Amino acid sequence: MPMSLSKTNRLFSIAAGVLLLFSCAQEASAQQPRKTCVDCHADMVAKFQQGVVHAPVRDKNCDACHLPHGIIGGTFLRQDKPDLCFRCHQAVAPESSAVSIHEPVRKGNCSACHASHNSPNPRLLLKEQKEVCYGCHDRGHFEKKNVHAPLSQGCVTCHTPHKSKHPLLLIQEADSLCLKCHESGKESMRKAHQGYLLKGNCLSCHNPHASDKKGLLKSVVHQPIVAGQCKRCHDGTGTDFAKPAQKADALCVQCHKKDQATLAGQHQPVREGKCTQCHSVHASEESAMLVMSAETLCLKCHVTGKKSEAQSVHEPVKKGDCLACHAGHGISKNAGLKAKPADLCAKCHSREQYGGGKRGHSPAAKNECATCHTPHESKEKRLLIKRDGEICVGCHPQVDEQLARFSLHRPFAAGECSRCHNPHQGTEKAFLIKPTNRGELCLTCHANLVKKPEEGKGHPPFQEGACLGCHGAHSTEHEFVQIKKPGELCLQCHAKVKKELSEKKNIHEPFKLQQCGSCHLAHGSSQGKHLAKKKPDLCLTCHPEIAIHWQTGVMHSPAGKDCGLCHEAHGGNQTVLLKTAVDKLCATCHKGDSAKYAKAHSGMTPSGKSCLSCHDPHGAPAKGLLYPVQHAPFKQGSCKACHPGRNN
């Protein structure tokens, strides 16, 4: 069917309206350009235009580094650093051809030295140039009695701050850099070097930054150099000299023959005659003219000390003081130690405290430290070669069998023998760190068991600290590391209660199973008889049904006060552990010959033996404690309908 003209006109009008709205929106958009960062952050613009300003900030081109954030506040960079920085500063990015790279550059941490927006210092440095460098480099090395002149002009006089084709970030090869200022042919240079003509190797004698010695000499100088006797080692004529014909290592033994004869064959470099592997030939900032600090030098060959997973590190190793224990060249035996291992350990670890006391543990008393400890580092605490439990089992095999028992003392299970035992010495039995007869040792961990005055008295064995009267030290076959089954353990002391098991007709179920802990707390409680809770709450733990009417109905007064008023706790000869026969028990409160009693029973005086046929002894929906479901005549008070002529 063809569309009607009127309908066509309506559709045309709608389409025209939409186009008009779209056109208006475009016009409005053209009239309202997108806001820039500067529009909202004018305060930051003023703040960041002071001093040396980063080019994008100066040009107010925040988008060069930041993403716009809209209504959600925050500073969002276009890329993570350093990639963001290297978009413009590719020339300073690390590259594989570089011989040395500044550590912050290697880590991509440009912000360690530079500010992002502006700075009062050149190159956007966070501080004055030297102060930035001193943030990582100890200023003490640069502020000595004699300071190299270029240092006052700034570190970049000799070093490039990012990367270099030369070692130590130098701007050119070391000797060439020195000779730019110190020309070797000048008379002043000859005079300064005792008449000799030198052409390089400057850093073998001089500190390039600062020194307390004249001429920036390093702190330890080879004696022939001090005496101006260079030709004792070098060949040459006149004031010129060349490298010696013999290797430097061979020259050393000309003066150090005694050391070589005494120590030959010990430390491998000594044994092989490679003196220069460890020592500098001219001068050094380290003692004994070592080529670098002892810890760095030793760890070039001895990897111990580099393991990041070590839990404990020997203090000298941590400080890099290898020579505290080892002789640099070696001694006849014992891994180049300066003394026998036991004597060496005793220098820091007094024998009086570590095995030399009144009662020393065998390895410690014999000064056999290495039986348990490793000398450098360990994955275990206290430099132990294994977990202390594993070490102890090595000498105490019987302990291994105890680990197979059902219940283990937690420190024993964890192999933490030293939680209770002193591994070196002790005056207590079994080298315990504290006495057990007063509970001192146990209370180190179990102090929470001690009762406050308001919490009542503790169980006598616990009060007296006789923990081992009930518990095993390491492990047992019973829960809570008890030395016997809980019931057997309790009945050792409670003989009177034990008799009830054989003499009473009916036994309380927990008592029959000898589960004393179901009702009593072993260490003590604020309740009488060390009960876990007050009555009747304790009884309701197992017998909740007796309180079914207590919330909405009526509670029998004795039941709400103390179950023990009617029931025996452990065992009895009456049904349901009653203290006496039902009629006698009820009669203690309800006298059957009273007028009140007769009135409550419609003039009758029923026998006490029938109380429980009508009344719930614990509680009921209404006063009178009658069972909720009743025989119709009884409910109507017509007892004689079934009991004619009876009045009881």
Per-chain mean pLDDT for the chain: 86
Residue 293 belongs to some domain of the structure: no
Per-residue pLDDT at 248 exceeds 80: yes
Q: Does pLDDT of 567 surpass 80? A: yes
Beta-carbon contacts of residue 110 (< 8 Å; ≥ 6 apart):
81, 82, 85, 104
The strand pairing partners of 378, in sequence order, are 312
Q: Which amino acid is at 547?
A: A
Asked if residue 133 is part of any domain, the answer here is yes
Domain co-membership, 466 together with 343: yes
Structure tokens given for 357: 């006391």
Same-domain pairing of 354 and 466: yes
Domain boundary among 122, 142, 172: 172
Domain-terminating residue out of 155, 172, 189: 172
Question: Do 598 and 473 have their domain in common?
Answer: no
Considering the domain architecture, whether residues 467 and 586 belong to the same structural domain is answered as no
Cβ neighbours, 10 Å, residue 428:
17
Long-range Cβ contact pairs of 264-273 (< 8 A, separation 24 or more): 266/329, 266/330, 266/331, 266/332, 266/336, 267/327, 267/328, 267/329, 267/330, 267/336, 268/301, 270/329, 270/330, 273/249
Q: To the nearest whole percent, how much of the chain has pLDDT over 90?
A: 53
What span, in angstroms and rounded, lies between the C-alpha atoms of 472 and 329? 54
Last-in-domain residue among 427, 456, 477: 477
57 compared with 648, residue with greater pLDDT = 57
Least confident of 102-106, 487-491, 515-519, 641-645: 641-645
Number of domains in the chain: 3
CB contact at 8 A, 132 and 126: yes
Tell me the average pLDDT across 197-223.
92
According to DSSP, the residues that pair with 572 across neighbouring strands are: 506
Query: What confidence tier does 331 reach under pLDDT thresholds 50, 70, 90?
Result: low
Kindly report which listed range (354-358, 441-445, 622-626) carries the lowest average pLDDT score.
Answer: 354-358
> Is residue 256 in some structural domain?
no
pLDDT in tens, 36-83: 788 888 888 888 999 999 999 999 899 899 988 766 767 788 999 999
- The pLDDT of residue 1: 40
* Residues 471 and 584 both lie in one domain: no
The pLDDT of 263-278, averaged and rounded, is 78
Q: What average pLDDT score do residues 568-595 get?
A: 91
Statement: residue 625 has pLDDT above 90: yes
Render 108-140 in DSSP notation, one character per residue: T-GGGTB-SSEESSGGGBSS-HHHHHHTTS-GG
Q: Are 461 and 469 in contact (CB under 8 A)?
A: yes
**Residue 189: inside a domain:** no
Q: What mean pLDDT comes out for the span 180-193?
A: 85
Q: Is residue 324 part of a domain?
A: no
If one compares 254 and 418, the residue with the highest pLDDT of the two is 418
- pLDDT confidence bin for 286, thresholds 50/70/90: very high
Decide if 102 is inside a domain. yes
If asked whether residues 596 and 471 sit together in one domain, one would say no
Higher pLDDT, 331 or 211: 211
Which amino acid is it at 148? H
Tokens of 252: 């050393």
Contacts of 314 (CB under 8 A, 6+ apart): 375, 376, 377, 383
Pick from 416, 400, 402: which is nearest to 474 by CA? 402
Q: Answer yes or no: do 465 and 586 share one domain.
A: no
Please name the amino acid found at residue 474: H
Q: Is residue 334 in some structural domain?
A: no
Q: What six digits make up the tokens of 542? A: 């197992």
Record the pTM.
0.64
169's CB contacts (< 8 A; 6+ apart) are: 100, 102, 159, 160, 161, 162, 163
Residues whose CB is less than 8 angstroms from the CB of residue 250 and which lie 6 or more positions away in sequence, other chains included: 273
What domain range is 57 assigned to? 41-172
Domain membership flag for residue 472: yes
* Residue found under tokens 């300066």: 338
Query: How much is the average pLDDT of 81-97?
Result: 93
